[in-house]
Amino acid sequence: MSDKHTCSCGCCENEEHKHDHAEEECSCGCHGEDCGCHDDGCGCHDDACSCHERKEYKGPDISCGCGCCHDDEEESGKELPVIIIGALLFVAGLVIHHTSLPWYISLAVCLAAYLILGVKILLDAAKNLLSGHVLDENFLMGIATIGAFAIGEFPEAVGVMLFFRIGEYFEEKAVEKSRRQIMEAIDLRPETVNLLLGGELTVIPAEKAQVGDLLLVRPGERIPLDGTITEGTSRADTSAINGEPTPLSLVAGDEVVSGWVNISSQLTMRVDKPLSESMVSRILDSVENAAASKPKIDRFISRFARIYTPIVVIIAILTAIIPPLLFNGSWTDWIYTALTFLVMSCPCALVLSVPLAYFAGIGAASRRGILFKGGASIEAMKKIKAVVMDKTGTLTRGSFELKHAEPVTGLTESALLRLCASCESYSTHPVAASILSAARKQGLKLQKPEMVEELAGMGIKAQTNIGEILCGNRRLLVQNGVELPELSDEAGTEVLCAVNKRYAGRLIIDDEIKPEAEAAMAMLKHKGYTTVMLTGDTLESAEAVAADLGIDEVRARLLPQDKLSAMQEVRARRGGVMFVGDGINDAPVLAGADVGAAMGSGADAAIEAADVVFMTSGADAIPQSLAIAAAANSVSMQNVVFALAIKLAVMVLGLCGFASMWAAVFADSGVAMLCVLNSIRVLYKKKGL
């Protein structure tokens, strides 16, 4: 039994992941592959954060906790001068090599260039060699270039190292660019807050603020935590969170979200959520998890590279030995061919191309207020055939207004409204809020219920001094033995009321369709997606909205469990399903869909269950997310096919003696750079489909 090692990256803190490992089994020195946290587990090793071996990701440590992703600006700043100096010496050595000057002058100049450019690669190869991780690109580059020096090909050895470093430089810059798109959201986290306590103002760390604390927010400052305005009126710039350019008016009683900017006047707010649960922290969590969740194709490429690299090394050794021994070939020529084969066989472009394409997709989406919870979520979108949506809060604003009241004979409209508002006074549902708002506008005095029971998908049952009041949909009243009269069908949400098992009337509540919803549905249909609406609302109201938006299928009067069954039925007929919702009752469907997408303004449970979060809460984010995912999936596949095709072609030519070291450089660093540039295109994906 080997010594027990706990993973330093923090992925094995869970007891079920702790195992005994030999330290030499893993290049990071924490554990071996049998614990399951490599590749498919926590995703913090190898290509998930890509900080082990290649160290592409420079910047704050947001993608893994192993501490190797440091923001080393000084090292990054030295990279370009090193490449420039090495390139100048390379050109000088190349010129000298083709003149009549003594060979050792060319060797000296090329050796200087090689050491400037290659010392980092050689040191990395040596470290990996000592840790047992031998067959990586650093090792292949080191062996191939040292071998080139040994057979007198000085300029080619330097050229290989130069273009390899240029490829790494472009790779790092591409990752930094896509990373900056994501980091803009992370920079919204507050360091301190202004705490009001006993009339005195105290500055405390943001993480120390507790629910119920009163905070002062001055003009120009960001709203530090999620909460509610208690005093003051102002306007807020919400664009950093939801992308909306129009400032939002704030008054006492309004809920505010961390990350907004207070524009005009001083505000006092009450903390509703601590820093760990506020919007900016949820954004951060999504970004942290995004790098750890690898798509299937990424995991396949990682495994492929580990099998592929030893095979090409064996082929290179056989190429260098067999022809001279068995067929009297030239040792120099066949060693050169083998070294060329080693250079061109480096799997850099393959291993890099997939994660970078998905990382660019995550960056492009975050710039538009769309948070993918990892590359796996993006990859899953390529099999989507149907987009299934909730109605309220997804396609409509969710800001209901009372359209009219229909009381029974002998009861006034105000009396009916008062009964319903008293019953709904403890509910947070948007329909309940609209009833309470209408009651306040009429100045009605509400009766406080003695007991309230909220029945999911049906409504409210309350006990008052006049007896039992039922307030909800038809299902609620029928299940409680209320005899209903013949009711006309009317567009809108109906709220029925009964007192002591006797029908008292109904309220008709109307909801406004989001202005961008019609164009969003048109874009989805243009690309061949089937659109389906699932709602607990009345069939009349649902069909009216569907007709306005051109939605293909409608299912109404659904309970939460009915929505899940309906979504599964759509998937059985149509194929992969993306479900978009915002309510707590949508959480089971979001979790059960192939891709679940939640509106950022929705319930925490929905956001937690979703694969994608639309911080803008706009319906146009649905086609935008599909477009970005399609671009990322397409680019990743383009990179894989292109890299494999070029490498295989040049490798065959190399084995036949028709490809030089320069062709090998293109097959390795050149192809890697082209894959990087191709991946960057995802960052500039235009809106829509």
Q: Annotated active-site positions, please?
A: 390
Q: Is 31 helix (H, G, I), strand (E, B) or coil?
A: coil
Q: CA-CA distance, 83 to 159, in Å (whole number)?
A: 11
Please give the DSSP secondary-structure letter assigned to residue 485.
P
Q: CA-CA distance, 433 to 424, in Å (whole number)?
A: 8
CB-CB contact of 591 with 560 (8 Å): no
Pairing label, strands 255-256, 384-389: unpaired
Task: List the helix and strand counts (H, then E) for the chain.
Answer: 21, 22
Q: CA-CA distance, 423 to 190, in Å (whole number)?
A: 40
CB-CB contact of 36 with 12 (8 Å): no
**551 φ, ψ (degrees, to nearest 5):** -80, 140
Tokens 């994608």, residue located: 612
Q: What is the DSSP string of 206-250?
A: GGG--TT-EEEE-TTPBP-SSEEEEE--EEEE-HHHH---S-EEE
CB-CB contact of 584 with 568 (8 Å): no
Tokens of 675: 């894959």
Burial readout 347-386 (b: 16 or more C-beta within 10 A, e: otherwise): bbbbbbbbbbbbbbbbbbbbbbbbbbbbbbbbbbbbebbb
| Cβ count near 8 (within 10 Å) | 15
Torsion 222-399-615-585 (CA) sign: positive
Rg (alpha carbons) of the chain, rounded to whole number: 32
Please state, in angstroms and as integers, the Cα–Cα distance from residue 211 to each residue in 194, 218, 271, 341, following that order. Answer: 14, 20, 5, 63
CB-CB contact of 274 with 268 (8 Å): no
Pairing label, strands 255-256, 467-472: unpaired
The contacts of residue 597 (CB under 8 Å, 6+ apart) are: 578, 579, 580, 581, 590, 610, 611, 612, 613, 614, 621, 622, 625
**259 φ, ψ (degrees, to nearest 5):** 105, -20
